[in-house]
Amino acid sequence: MTVADPSALQPGLQPRGWLRYFSFSLDHKVIGLQYLVCGFFFYLVGGALAGVIRTELVSPIADFVSRDTYNEVLTLHGTVMIFLWIVPVVNGAFGNYLIPFYVGARDMAFPRLNAVAFWMIPPAGLLLISSYLLAGAAAQSGWTAYPPLSLTTPAAGQVVWILSVLLLGGSSIFGAVNFIATVLKLRRPGLKMMQLPMYCWAMLGTSLLVVLSTPVLAGVLILLSFDIIAHTGFFNPALGGNVVVYQHLFWFYSHPAVYIMVLPAFGLVSEILPVHARKPLFGYTTMVYSIMGIVFLGLIVWAHHMFTSGTPPWMRLFFTIATSFIAVPTGIKFFNWLATLWGGKIALNSAMLFSCGFILNFVFGGITGITLAQVPFDIHVHDTYYVVGHFHYIVYGGTVFVIFAALYHWYPKFTGRLLNEDLGRLHFLLTFIGFNLCFLPQHWLGLNGMPRRVAEYDPAFTTLNQLSSVGALIMAISTLPLLLNVVVTALRGQSAGDNPWNALTPEWLTSSPPPVENWHGEAPLVTEPYGYGHTPAESGR
User: Segment 217-236, which members bind another protein (CB under 8 A)?
Assistant: 218-220, 222-223, 226, 230-234
Which residue type is seen at 80? V
Residue ranges in 479-508 that form contacts with another protein under rule CB under 8 A: 504, 506
- For residue 372, which of 320, 316, 317, 336 has the smallest C-alpha distance? 320
β-bridge mates for residue 384, sequence order: 451
Q: Would residue 298 be called left, alpha or beta, if left means φ above 0 and alpha means ψ between -120 and 50 degrees?
A: alpha
CB of 340 to another protein, least distance (A): 17
Say whether 498 sits in a helix, a strand or coil: coil
Q: Kindly tell me which residue out of 23, 242, 309, 511 binds another protein, with binding defined by CB under 8 A.
A: 242
Cβ pair 308, 337 in contact under 8 A: no
Residue 10 exposed, middle or buried by CB count within 10 Å (0-12, 13-18, 19+)? middle
Q: Which one, 261 or 526, has the nearer CB to another protein?
A: 526
Binding string to another protein for residues 312 to 341, with x set by CB under 8 A, is what?
Answer: ------------------------------
Q: Please tell me the number of Cα atoms within 13 Å of 408 on its side-chain side.
A: 30
Residues 175-204 that bind another protein (CB under 8 A): 176-178, 180-182, 184-186, 188-190
Task: Find out whether the peptide bond into 513 is cis, omega within 30 degrees of 0.
Answer: yes
**Residue 309 in contact with another protein, rule: CB under 8 A:** no
Asked if 300 interacts with another protein (CB under 8 A), we say: no
292 touches another protein (CB under 8 A): no
Q: Please, which residue, 376 or 521, has the CB nearer to another protein?
A: 521
Q: How far is the CB of 376 from another protein (least distance, A)?
A: 26
Q: Which residues, 6+ apart, have CB-to-CB distance to 74 below 8 Å?
A: 49, 53, 142, 453
Instruction: Kindly give, in sequence order, each residue whose CB lies less than 8 Å from that of residue 289, ignoring residues fewer than 6 positions away.
Output: 329
Q: Lay out the site mask for another protein across 54-93 (x = CB under 8 A, - = otherwise).
A: ----------------------------------------
Q: What Å distances lie between residue 135 and 74, 127, 303, CA to CA?
A: 16, 14, 36
Q: With respect to another protein, which residue has the nearer C-beta, 58 or 212? A: 212
Regarding 163 and contact with another protein (CB under 8 A), the answer is: no
CB of 157 to another protein, least distance (A): 23
Q: Which is nearer to another protein, 182 or 368 (CB)?
A: 182
Distances in Å between the alpha carbon of 275 and those of 103, 345, 528, 537?
A: 19, 10, 13, 19
Residue 349's H or E segment, with its range, is none
- The answer to whether residue 149 forms part of the interface with another protein (CB under 8 A) is no
Q: How far is the CB of 34 from another protein (least distance, A)?
A: 17
Piece of 245-253, 262-270, 281-289, 322-330 that binds another protein (CB under 8 A): 245-253
Is residue 31 close enough to count as binding another protein by CB under 8 A? no
Using rule CB under 8 A, residue 278 touches another protein: no
Residues making up the chain, counted from first to last:
541
For residue 106, state whether it binds another protein (rule: CB under 8 A).
yes
CB of 81 to another protein, least distance (A): 24
List 61, 126, 239, 487, residue binding another protein (CB under 8 A): 239
Site for another protein (CB under 8 A): how many residues? 72
Tell me whether residue 179 or residue 401 sits nearer to another protein (CB atom). Answer: 179
The verdict on 117 binding another protein (CB under 8 A) reads no
Cβ proximity to another protein: between 309 and 479 the closer is 309
User: Do 320 and 314 touch, CB atoms closer than 8 A?
Assistant: no
Pick from 139, 152, 309: nearest CA to 227: 152
Which residues inside 330-389 make contact with another protein, applying CB under 8 A? none
Choose which of 98, 105, 165, 262 interacts with another protein (CB under 8 A): 105
Choice from 51, 60, 122, 531 touching another protein (CB under 8 A): 531
Contact 322, 373 (CB under 8 A): no
CA 283 vs. chain centroid, Å, equals 24
Q: Give Rg (Cα) of the chain.
A: 23
